[in-house]
Amino acid sequence: MLQATPLTDGWIVRHPEGATAALPASVPGCVHTDLLAAGVIPDPFLGRNETEVAWVGRRDWTYETDLDAASAHEQTDLVFEGLDTVAEISLDGQLLGRVRNMHRSYRFDVTGLSGRLSVRFASAYAEAEAVRGKLGERPAAYAEPYQYIRKMACSFGWDWGPTLVTAGIWRPVRLEHWSTARIARVRPLVTVEQGTGHVELAVDVERTRVEAPLTVEAVVGGVRARAEIDGTDGVVRIEVPDARLWWPRGYGEQPLYDVELTLLHGGDALDVWRRRIGFRTVELDRRADADGTGFTFVVNGLRLFARGVNWIPDDVFPSRVTRERYRERLRQAADAGVDLVRIWGGGIYESEDFYDACDELGLLVWQDFPFACAAYPEEQPLRGEVEAEARENVVRLMPHPSLVLWNGNNENLWGFRDWGWEPRLAGDSWGEGYYLGLLPRVVAELDPTRPYTAGSPWSGSWEWHPNDPAHGTHHSWEVWNRDDYAEYRANVPRFVAEFGWQAPPAYATLRRALPGEELAADSPGMLHHQKAEDGNGKLRRGLERHFADFEGDFDRWHYLTQVNQARAVAAGIEHWRSQWPVCAGTVVWQLNDCWPVTSWAAIDGDGREKPLYHELRRLYADRLLTLQVRERGLELAVVNQAAEAWAGAVRLRRMSVEGVVVGEVNVGFGAQGRAVARVDVPKELEPAGPKEFLVADTGALRAVHFPAPDREVPYPRPEFDVALAPGGIVVTARTLVRDLLLQADRLHPDARADRGLVTLLPGEEVTIGVRGWETPDAEAARSALYCMEPSR
């Protein structure tokens, strides 16, 4: 039987020219984390330390350990699951090979060898600049040369991320000892038809003895099958009767089946391959209709409105992201009502731990190939690397039922058309051959069970603009960059794959990241941890459209930016969900952060939930009430994504800001399962000017409509009582209290509230659960409560 020996101990890292003494190294890991552990560099996440460690990415680095490959087996392989990025591997001075792709694994025959194993990493900058010099300049959204190297693009910095260009053995490394033959690759095709699950396992083997007769035996769901290996490959097929369907979160259960495939020589087991699979069908409905060209996920025959978030690497040093951290972050997503996670193209193909968690949680995965915001050369040495990494990762990720879409790139087709690339390229290659040629061919050959789309955004054809909202996927960034968030309601895209609004991280995150700094919107550390072009200017202009009296008071500014982020995303999602089935999904930019930064994330770089996170729980719930301004007047949209029909009555109240009910009526509604019902608000209940607002209630659901921006609303001075309750506090309003927020991390860095923004009418109360609060105190809680106040 194949034996695997992890190589985790005894590693050192050093700069080849001797400028840095040999230091202990962690494998998996990277040079930054090793230097940080040794105290050689400061934490690049704190203050402005990022700039002090920029030299690390410009150096070459060597990892070394002693290796003894002696074994009674016929062959021993040295296996690297991931090397970041350009490296030369040698053993006792003998060159084993050279590599240049972070997104691939590598295997070297070291049978009978021993000595000093050396992995020498060249600076990613040096490699990228050399390829640029050979192939010529290509335009990109950022000045760093990330498109010339097959490496996580955002390690070169992004509009939410630091520039920390890594190197190292970032995924596990091991020795594999084996005899006769081993399993080189298993490509599982999993389908289901009329209740029967079909599993086809295409097996490739590597041999040491050509003449040895080989058999593969597979077991799935208690069903066993065998097949002979003809030369170096074979296929074993299994039918599983009464297969239980795997469903996305909220639509059913997520049954997973263990698959075990054993390679046999006679009665001897030589190698074993184990995975988990799920039976489900997935289609992408891209048919033309009266509204344009659709983009609707269909799972097990059911059409879905996708409630999505974009995922970036959870740490700029991805080797630090553990199985537990993946699970925590993805559990946060599921708890917010998310059912789709898009892995963005400037990052990586994530580890098995990510997809395992999505399989178990019922989170659909949209996987970008790693291309983002740049023109990518299609010549060698890049083209061969792109094909090799695509082939490896398509097969690696195929077992996961959560994976439902392969996407060619992020924003490159749009960039070619709109960002001035076409004239600059003057006929040079830029990636179109990957997105419309190579990658769809690879997916069609290896994984025909899943759809492929050429890019995001992509209209489906050059006949239309790549970002045409009426066709395919759409990225809505004009609103954040130039307009008020009310403009989200100006159109109805078929599928919104990116949109978002910025806000700073939680207060405790800022305090940790900027120690000793007097916080202000434009303080040095705050500006350094704001990577977006004119980011603070856009934040300010967004606030000016709605609020007064926010400058010069950091706490007020911090609260209002959080409110604005939540309201902006709510404006988009409420409008687009109310337009189902024309609009078939929203994917918020973004779920998470890779360090403490002002960004579009719902969960900040320290894992703390912003108010946006809690707002997503409301927006992505199966049932949603929303008040929408239409040409004919106010409309109540009753959004029902549950399978069961929803009928009842909504209490509509036209109220003054002093809390007086000006008018009231109950209106009935009925929404079929997976449908939207629309009810016109009676004209006499529409608010008249900034002193009035409309409230719609049914059960525990509420929608509120204020017709004027907050700066024009004559809010009363908020009055409320605060009392301790088991596990939290109770707030009782004596006046209108709009957008009340408990910033629990101001009570204790570990404290978390179980809800975000809430609007209370006079006499109403809310219980806010708080965990991680060591010494509960009502007055302390009051000091951490924020809400809308009258303009001064």
Residues carrying an active site annotation: 411
Contacts of 285 (CB under 8 A, 6+ apart): 294, 295, 296, 297, 298, 303
The DSSP symbol for 315 reads S
| C-alpha torsion sign, points 534, 556, 782, 625 | negative
Q: Give the span between the Cα atoms of 355 and 327, in whole angstroms.
A: 10
| Spatial CA neighbour of 542 closest among 510, 503, 490 | 503
| C-alpha torsion sign, points 313, 315, 321, 327 | negative
Contacts of 495 (CB under 8 A, 6+ apart): 295, 296, 306, 472, 473, 474, 583, 584, 585
Q: Give the span between the Cα atoms of 738 and 690, in whole angstroms.
A: 14
Indicate the residue type of 18. Answer: G
| Spatial CA neighbour of 600 closest among 650, 573, 565, 572 | 565
C-alpha torsion angle, residues 750, 754, 757, 761 (rounded to 10): -130
Longest dimension (CA), the chain: 90
The DSSP symbol for 401 reads T
Contacts of 257 (CB under 8 A, 6+ apart): 197, 220, 221, 240, 243, 276, 277, 278, 279
Q: Give the span between the Cα atoms of 8 and 263, in whole angstroms.
A: 28
Q: Is 250 helix (H, G, I), strand (E, B) or coil?
A: coil
Structural contact between residues 604 and 509, judged by C-beta atoms closer than 8 angstroms: yes
Consecutive H or E run containing 675: strand 675-680
Q: Give the span between the Cα atoms of 442 and 380, in whole angstroms.
A: 18
CA 774 from centroid of its chain's CA atoms = 33
Indicate the residue type of 512. Answer: R
Contacts of 272 (CB under 8 A, 6+ apart): 1, 2, 183, 260, 261, 262, 263
The residue to which tokens 């806000």 are assigned: 503
Q: Give the span between the Cα atoms of 421 and 414, in whole angstroms.
A: 10
Q: Give the span between the Cα atoms of 234 and 767, in whole angstroms.
A: 61
The residue to which tokens 């700029």 are assigned: 316
Q: Give the span between the Cα atoms of 753 and 745, in whole angstroms.
A: 8
Q: Is 767 helix (H, G, I), strand (E, B) or coil?
A: strand
Q: Is 90 helix (H, G, I), strand (E, B) or coil?
A: strand
| Spatial CA neighbour of 411 closest among 702, 753, 145, 142 | 142
Q: What share of the chain is helix, strand, coil (3-state, %, to 5)?
A: 25, 35, 40
Two structure tokens written together for 499: 């949109």
Q: Residue 610's beta-bridge partner residues? A: none
Q: Give the span between the Cα atoms of 432 and 761, in whole angstroms.
A: 55
C-alpha torsion angle, residues 317, 355, 369, 473 (rounded to 10): -120
The DSSP symbol for 54 reads G
Q: Residue 87's beta-bridge partner residues? A: 99, 121
Q: Is 620 helix (H, G, I), strand (E, B) or coil?
A: coil
The residue to which tokens 């009935």 are assigned: 668
DSSP symbols for 626-674: EEEEETTEEEEEEEE-SSS-EEEEEEEEEEETTS-EEEEEEEEEEE-TT
Two structure tokens written together for 701: 């659901």
